[in-house]
Every structure is written in structure tokens, then in C-alpha cells.
Amino acid sequence: MNSKYYPFCIFFIFIFIYALGSFTRIPFADCVGFVLNTEKGELETVFSSTSHPLYINTAILIRKITGVDAILANRIVVIFSAALTVFFVYKTVSLLTDKTWIPTVSAFVFGLSFSFWRNAEIVEVYTQNAALIMIFLYFLVLSYQCEKKRNTAIIAAAFFLGLCLWLHIQNIFFIPSFLLFLYYFRQNRKTVILSFLVFLLVFGAVFLVNYFQGYPLNSPFNSNEDIGWVRNSLNKSFGQYLKDFLVSLIYLVYNFNVFAILGIIGVFELYKFNKKIFYPLFIAAVLHYGFATFYAVSDNYVFFIPSYLIFIIGVGMGLRKYQDLTWVKKWSPLVLLTPLFYLFSFLMISSLPQSKDFKEKKAYKGGLKYYLLPWMNNNVGIVEFTAEKRTAPEPMSWMTISAEEYIKLKISQGYSLEEIKKF
């Protein structure tokens, strides 16, 4: 097969993988809120740190255009975005090597990484966010690696970074890297100025849309929810910060297993390969990784994904460093055994007596299975949890309020409670 078709094959392979493991019932966390908004069909027009209008409106438009139900519309957005992310992981790494097996392995390493795979199986904004980030990174690297396409790539990088900020305000951590990136190409004066103006126009639209609706200019950084987690993130002890950092390393290993070593080696390899590519990526990775590490929320694992998108480039560079070693190429297909690694970890931890209390505490949403296996087949759903008035040892009102509204809406559409429990 011609190598130009490889990324397309990988795209469809991951469409199949993610569709196969996709949720059976609407999962916990923000999922039911997204489905509810899609079901109501009211376009989100206000940008805030938690509103994610680009994601919600994409799902609503898919539902209106195709006629599919709200759950399937969200599933389409999530799975398509996830496969597109893996597609651009391949395309980006391939810019740094002429060996086709290296971007192929890199794509599978990232596509099967736990945090990303899990978010490809639920209703969340993070795969669409990852897709836009990866496209931005692709054009950033392309600017250095392809002189003929440089001017177009610099402008495209600006556009997609601006679009990233429509989706999630966390992406402001890419701005210092973007400014350094433009500085490196300062000799292309007209292109750099145009690129900066494109970024300002796209990102500035976020503020203008809110302003013309009567909201203050700082509203995209605000949230309607309690921001106690911001204060908590800044008021930890040294011991808590150290614990957070150690947990982040466990996340890294669980996501990339043995390939985490290659990723670390690849960071230094990228520095030697091209410092002007290294510094923007390194700065962005440190900012995102640091934010995710110390962010005081229970699901902070999702905020590592932007840094993982950069880390996978490091994995590719690590493979590139050892590309002439026969055993590296020979053993790299072991990445396909990643699902077995998750399954083995689940079985091993489940057998430990120390895990009993945790399993009982988290039984309401599936126990250890929910936390250690990325696929979501036959999962416990928030709708059935709410409909049956089950209880949990943790605050659930922020989920059940949306679930109760969703249940009432589906009842008004003629569904029975037993039918609704299956959603």
C-alpha cells in the first residue's frame, strides 16, 4: 500500500476502535449536560471557561442536519474528533522522519493512551479540543520542515490556535509558545504580521461575541460555577504539591507505559534536532503539564491531554533516535497489546485487599473498572442512577440536576421511565 494512505487507514481503524468501546449509557460528569443541551437544540452563544459553545453547537448542528438523536450526535463529534487527532499525530510525527513505521507506532501509542481513549468513549469536549490542538501543532512543525508551505502554515497555525481558544480557555497556555514561534520567523515580516492579526481576529471574536450580548470583556475567563477549586489549587502545602507531581508521573506511565521512556529520550532528541521547534513545544508542555498537575479538581487527568499531544512527538523522536536498531522496530508493534496492559492492571489491582474500600466507595459508577479500563461498554449511567434515586458518598447534585431535567424532557416526548433509564 502507498504510504500516503497510511494516516487514512489509521483514522478508520480508530473510528472502529472508539465506536466499539463507546458508552452504552450516558456516563457521569458533564456528559448528561452536553446531551441535554443538544436535545434542547438551543445554540450556545456565550463563551466562558465552562460553556464550550464550539463543541455544543457542533453537536446541535449535526443533529439538525442529519436528524440523529442527541446521544448519537455527541458520539459522532467525539469519535470523529478522536480519530482525527490520531490522524494528525501521524502527520505531525511523519514531518520529523522518513520512516513510516515511526509515525504509525506513535499514532497507536497516543490513540490507545488511557486518558485520550477514555475521552473518546464518553460525551466530552476533550477530543474535539485535542483535534484542534494537534492540527495547530502540525502546522507549527510544518512551518519549520517545509519551506514551500511555510507562509501558509504559519497563518494556519494562528487560525487553529485561535479556534482552540473558542473551545477551551486552557489553551491560553499555548500563547507564549505561539509568540516565540512568530519571533523565530520574524524575517518573514508580512507573514508574521498577518498571522498575528489572524490570531487576534479569531481569538478576539470570543470577547466581542460576549461583549455585544452585554457581558464584560473578561467574561470568557469566568464561570457560572463555584471557583473554590482555583483557590484550592493555590493554597496547597509543599507535601500536597509533591504528591500531585508524583501522581502525574503515575498518570504518564499508565498512559504511555514503556513508551514513556522513549518520550523522555525524545525530548532531548528534539532539542538536538531543532531548537526552534523544541522551545515552543517545551514551553507549552510545561505550562499545560504544570496546570494539570496542580489543578485541584477530581478529574484533572483530562487536563494533561494537551501536554500528552506534545509528549507523543517526543515518543516519535525517541523512536527516531533508535530507528536503526532492528529490535526497536521489531518490538514496537507491542503497542497493540496496550489493552491487555489495562486489563492486567485492572485484574491485579482488583485482587489487592487494599482496593476493597475504594471499590465500595466508587461502586455507584462501576468501581475500579471505571478508573482503570478506557472502554465504556455496559457502563453505569447517570440517567439510571438519577431515575432510581441512588445515592453516592460524593456530591452529585451538579450532575443529577441536569439528569433530572433530561428525564423530564424525555418523558414529555413520550418515553417511559424504563426506556429513559437505558439512555
Q: Which three cell numbers stand for residue 324?
A: 536503526
Judge whether 355 lies within some domain. no
The HSE-up count of residue 204 (CA atoms within 13 Å, CB side) is: 6
Q: Which three cell numbers stand for residue 15?
A: 473510528
**What is the spatial distance between Cα 215 and Cα 211, in angstroms, rounded to a whole number?**
5
For residue 29, the model assigns a pLDDT of: 87
Q: What is the pLDDT of residues 368-417, one digit of tens each?
A: 999 999 999 999 999 999 999 998 888 888 889 999 999 999 999 999 99
**What is the spatial distance between Cα 52 and Cα 171, in angstroms, rounded to a whole number?**
12
Residue 14, Cβ density class (10 Å: 0-12 exposed, 13-18 middle, ≥19 buried): buried
Judge whether 421 lies within some domain. no
For residue 229, the model assigns a pLDDT of: 59
Whether 79 and 22 have beta carbons less than 8 Å apart is answered as yes
Judge whether 126 lies within some domain. yes
Number of H helices, E strands in the chain: 22, 0
Distances in Å between the Cα of 287 and the Cα atoms of 154, 307, 357 are 22, 8, 35
| Nearest by Cα to 83 from 33, 124, 134 | 134
Predicted structure pTM score = 0.95
Judge whether 90 lies within some domain. yes
Total domains in the chain come to 1
Judge whether 200 lies within some domain. yes
For residue 359, the model assigns a pLDDT of: 87
For residue 187, the model assigns a pLDDT of: 94
For residue 133, the model assigns a pLDDT of: 98
- CA dihedral sign of residues 112, 113, 118, 120: negative
User: End-to-end alpha-carbon separation of the chain, Å?
Assistant: 41
What range defines the domain where residue 120 resides? Answer: 3-222+232-342+364-380
* Helix ranges restricted to H, 21-125: 31-40, 53-66, 70-94, 101-111, 114-119
Judge whether 259 lies within some domain. yes
- CA dihedral sign of residues 399, 383, 27, 37: negative
Judge whether 35 lies within some domain. yes
* Helix ranges restricted to H, 212-258: 228-234, 238-256
Q: Which three cell numbers stand for residue 392?
A: 453516592
Judge whether 356 lies within some domain. no
For residue 357, the model assigns a pLDDT of: 87
| Nearest by Cα to 263 from 323, 300, 326, 308 | 308
- Residue ranges in the chain modelled with pLDDT below 70: 1, 223-234, 296
Torsion of CA 66, 67, 71, 77, to 10 degrees: 10
Residues with Cβ within 8 Å of 395's Cβ and at least 6 positions away in sequence, in order, are none
Residue 382, Cβ density class (10 Å: 0-12 exposed, 13-18 middle, ≥19 buried): buried
